[in-house]
Amino acid sequence: MSQSKALGFFGKNWSFLFLVMMLILFSFLGENFLNLNNFNNILLGISSLLLLAIGETFVVISGGIDLSIGFVMGFVCVSSAIIMRDLNVAGYSPFISIIAGSFAGLLLGIIPGIINGYLVAKLRVPPFIATLGMWGISNGLAWRLCDGFPIGFLPLQVRGIGNAYIAYFSPHKNFSFFIKPELTERADILKLLKIIPLPILLITFIMIIFAFILSRTKFGQHTYVIGGKLDAAIRAGINVPLHLIKIYTISSFFAATAGVLLVFKLNMGVHTQYTSSYELFAIAAVVIGGASLTGGKGTIWGTVVGVLLIGTLNNGLMMMGLPIFYRYIATGCILIIAVLIDQFFPELVYRE
């Protein structure tokens, strides 16, 4: 392989190579890092961030940014939990309560995206300002709904769904799919292997659909053209304002889905500081994954690698017993490296 080809390979795959390097490094430094339960923890930990980052990928490729997704997720989390709790208390079945709460949360969650898109596309408000305003509005609404306290007393089935796994393996009961085997002995409970969290299956399904939309459809092509060459998109007859409204609605939809998922994971509705930094990590994952903040470049799969890299880094440093501020510093350093590579060596990253 020539030097230029080697540099090109490194430039295009540096985040993936860095991820592999971290996996090897932490397997030596972190006790129990190479453990199935720990990998499950990593997957569960990144699930909400993964959804937010996928939606943010569409926005960044179109040349914009969405700062509201963290608090939109919190707003939906609180709203869905309140509806589930109130319907359950009113005597409706857990099934009706959970379905109604989930769909209502998704519907409420896409409203901020429609407003963001309208402000950006029709009223020419800079994306940073429009979504920052929605950041504050969503935070205020969520705070008003829950008065700063978590929303509990949800149907018992919520925790079971959110913390289910695709398969379980018990030495005495072999494999069982989706349903956790009934175990009474402590030794059996400790030996129970849980294989891939169920929410990851749902996220993977959604991710494949939107990766196809972005890479294989006219909608995806228009997104790249708008982010890369806006004038060319207008001359080509693309309805840019309508397309941007759709893009911000997609971003908000993913934030809403993350909010509903959070209800199932935690068995309660929460917001405020718990969700306030998610948008920053989502944007970091998108950029680390190869998307350019100037628009026109990026992929869903690159974003997935970016999210995995952040999740593995946080988990590995935690397993080493380092304080949490080291995780923020490490993530910030990787983000700066990604921006520098995009800024100074774009021909390595995007040449085809």
pLDDT digits (tens, 9 = 90+) for 84-136: 999 999 999 999 999 999 999 999 999 999 999 999 999 999 999 999 999 99
Order of strands across the sheet that contains 174-177: 174-177, 165-170, 193-197
pLDDT (tens digit, 9 = 90+) per residue, 180-191?
A: 777 777 777 777
Q: Report CA Rg, the chain.
A: 21
**What is the sign, positive or negative, of the torsion defined by CA atoms of 63, 67, 68, 69?**
positive
pLDDT (tens digit, 9 = 90+) per residue, 235-256?
A: 999 999 999 999 999 999 999 9
pTM of the model: 0.90
Report residue 50 as tokens. 């993964």
Burial class (CB in 10 A: 0-12, 13-18, 19+), 51: buried
> What's the confidence (pLDDT) of residue 238?
93
pLDDT (tens digit, 9 = 90+) per residue, 17-72?
A: 888 998 998 888 877 888 888 888 888 889 999 999 999 999 999 999 999 999 99
**What is the average pLDDT value for the chain, to the nearest integer?**
87
Tell me how far apart the alpha carbons of residues 127 and 115 are, in angstroms, rounded to a whole number: 11
Tell me how far apart the alpha carbons of residues 115 and 107 are, in angstroms, rounded to a whole number: 13
> What are the φ/ψ torsions at residue 238 (nearest 5 degrees)?
-70, 135
Residues paired with 194 in a beta bridge: 168
**72 within 8 A of 109, measured Cβ to Cβ:** yes
Tell me how far apart the alpha carbons of residues 280 and 293 are, in angstroms, rounded to a whole number: 13
> What's the confidence (pLDDT) of residue 187?
74
Tell me the pLDDT band of 352, cut-offs 50, 70 and 90: very low
**Residue for token digits 């950006």?**
120
Tell me how far apart the alpha carbons of residues 306 and 278 are, in angstroms, rounded to a whole number: 14
Asked if the model's pLDDT at residue 348 lies above 60, the reply is no
